[in-house]
Amino acid sequence: MSRPFRYLVLFVMCLTTFCAAAFAQSRVAITGQPGQFRLQRNEMPYKIHGVGGDSYLSLLATAGGNSIRSWSTDGLGELLDEAHKHGLTVCVGMWLGHERHGFDYQNEAAVVKQLDDCLRAVRQHKDHPAVLLWAIGNEMEGDGKNPAIWYAVNHIAREIKRIDPDHPTMTVIAELGEKGNKVRSIERFCPDIDIIGVNSYGGISTLAERYRKSGVTKPYIVTEHGPRGPWEVEKTRWGSPVEPTSTVKGKGYAHGYQKAVAQQSGQCLGSYAFLWGYKQETTATWFGMLLPDGSRLAAVDAMTEAWTGTPPRNQCPRIMSLKVNRSDNLKPGERVKASLAASDPEDDALKITWVLRQDTGTIGVGGDYQPEEATFADAVSASGTSATVTIPEGGGGYRLFAYVRDDHGGAAVANVPLYVDAPIKPIP
C-alpha cells in the first residue's frame, strides 16, 4: 500500500469514527430520589435550559439555551437534525386528542390509532442523538378528572419504554389542577410516566410550593412559562385584556424561572420558556420572545442571564410607558394622541414603528389557532415617540402598537387597547 493511500484510508477511518460519535444515540436517565432528582445525559448532569419553538436555533444556542420543545412529531426528523447541528436537544412532543376538540377516549379504535402513531415516531427517531425525552400529550387532560385519559397516557408510556428504555417519558398538563388533582391523578394512574410537565404562567411563582403540597414525588419540568396569560390580567371596561410591555414581561420570565426552577434543584429538572418565536394568541405579541423579523425582546435577555449568569453584552431597549389621551367611546374619524416613553441601556439610537391593529378581544384557549388581526397602515401618523391615530370607520376593539428597535437585534413592544363606539363593519 502506497503512503498516500494509507493516509487516505486513515483519514476516512478517523472521519467515520468522528461521525459515528457525533450521531451516536444519547442515553438519558433520571437519578436520585424525591427531592434529590437529577437528569443525566450520557452519564453527565443535564439541566434543561429550554424554549418552546423551532426557529432561530443559532440565536438560542448563543443565548445559552440547550433544548427545544415540540408539540407534535410532524417534520420531526428535520427538526432533530437542525437541533443537533446547533448542539441542542429536543423534548419530542406527541400530540394527543383533546376532548374539547371532539376526541373520545372511550373510542377504542381512536385510542389505538393514537398509540400506534406515537410508537411509530419512537421507532423511527429513538436513536437520534438529539432526542432528550418523550412528551406524551399537551393539555389534553381538561379538568383532569377522566381516568380514561390517564390510562391512555400510561399505556403509551409503557409501550415507549419497551421500545426505548434510554429516554424518559413525560406528560404535559395545564397547571396542577384543583387542589393538585391533575398531578395526583398522574401519580395514581400513570406509573410509567417519569416526569410531569407543567405549563404555568400567572401561578409560576407559587408552583413549587403547590407541587410539594400535592404530595406528588415525581420530578417536574416547567414545560411552558412566560407572562401572565390574557385570562389572568386586568381587563378594560369593554373586556379586552391589558397586555404588559415586553419590558415588564422580561422581568416576569426571570422571576418565574428563579422561583420555580433555579431554586428547586432536586425536584425541578429545568424549563422551557414560551414562546421562542411569535404567534397570534389574543394579540400578535403576547407570548412571543421574538418579533417576526427575529429581533429579540426582553424575555430573551432575561433567559440568557438566567441560563448563563451573565446578561447579554447589548441589552434590549426598554419601554416605560405607552399612553393615549383617550381610549374609550371613540368615534370614527376622531384623532387620538399617543406618547411613548422608551430608552436604551447602552444609549443606542432607537427606531420606533407604530401600528394600529383590529382587536377582537378573543382570549385564546389552549394555544388554539387564531388568525392574525387586520392592520390599518394609513391610520397612524408618527414622529418618533409621538403618534396620532385617526380612528377607522368600523366600530369595536383596536390596539395601538409601538415597536422599538436598536441596531443590535434588540427590540421592545407595547400596546394599548382602544374602543370605537360605532357599528362593527367587516374588514376588507
Helices (H), 87-146: 108-125
Q: Using the structure block, give the residue that is written with the C-alpha cell 424525591.
A: 34
| Residues 303, 326 share a domain | no
Is residue 18's pLDDT more than 80?
A: no
Determine, yes or no, domain membership for 14.
no
- The DSSP-derived string for 96-112 is ---GGGT--TT-HHHHH
| Residues 395, 251 share a domain | no
Question: In sequence order, what E strands does 120-267 have?
Answer: 131-138, 169-174, 195-199, 220-225
Chain-wide mean pLDDT for the chain? Answer: 94
Determine, yes or no, domain membership for 141.
yes
| Residues 326, 302 share a domain | no
| Residues 133, 277 share a domain | yes
Whether 278 contacts 285, CB under 8 Å = yes
Determine, yes or no, domain membership for 428.
no
| Residues 351, 292 share a domain | no
Determine, yes or no, domain membership for 8.
no
| Residues 345, 260 share a domain | no
| Residues 324, 287 share a domain | no
| Residues 329, 256 share a domain | no
Quick: pLDDT tens for 58-98: 999 999 999 999 999 999 999 999 999 999 999 999 999 99
- Tally of domains within the chain: 2
In whole angstroms, what is the distance from residue 301 CA to residue 283 CA? Answer: 22
Determine, yes or no, domain membership for 12.
no
Here the cell at position 305 is: 442571564
The one-letter amino acid at 298 = A
Is residue 4's pLDDT more than 80?
A: no
Q: What is the pLDDT of residue 361?
A: 78
Quick: pLDDT tens for 285-322: 999 999 999 999 999 999 999 999 999 999 999 999 99
Here the cell at position 418 is: 382602544
| Residues 195, 82 share a domain | yes
Q: How far apart are the first and last CA of the chain?
A: 76
State mean pLDDT over 193-205.
97
Can you count the helices (H) and strands (E) in the chain?
9, 18
Q: What is the pLDDT of residue 19?
A: 43
Backbone angles phi, psi at 427, to 5 degrees: -90, 125
Q: What is the pLDDT of residue 25?
A: 83
Q: Which of 116-120, 134-138, 366-370 has the lowest mean pLDDT?
A: 366-370
Q: Answer with the one of 248, 277, 308 that is the final residue of a domain.
A: 308
Determine, yes or no, domain membership for 102.
yes
Residue 427 — very low, low, confident or very high, per pLDDT cuts 50/70/90? low
Q: Answer with the one of 308, 342, 364 that is the final residue of a domain.
A: 308
| Residues 277, 131 share a domain | yes
State mean pLDDT over 111-134.
98
- CATH number for the domain that contains residue 287: 3.20.20.80
Determine, yes or no, domain membership for 170.
yes
Q: What is the pLDDT of residue 29?
A: 98
3-class state of residue 264 by DSSP: helix
Q: What is the pLDDT of residue 9?
A: 42
Q: DSSP letter for 180, please.
A: G
| Residues 354, 269 share a domain | no
Rg (CA), the chain: 24
State mean pLDDT over 235-257.
97
Range of the domain at 141: 23-308
Is residue 243's pLDDT more than 70?
A: yes
- CATH number for the domain that contains residue 381: 2.60.40.10
Quick: pLDDT tens for 342-376: 999 999 999 999 999 999 878 877 788 898 999 99
Is residue 5's pLDDT more than 80?
A: no
Whether 232 contacts 270, CB under 8 Å = no
Is residue 159's pLDDT more than 60?
A: yes
| Residues 254, 332 share a domain | no
Higher-pLDDT residue of 427 and 82 is 82
Determine, yes or no, domain membership for 360.
yes
In whole angstroms, what is the distance from residue 31 CA to residue 29 CA? Answer: 6
Whether 339 contacts 396, CB under 8 Å = no
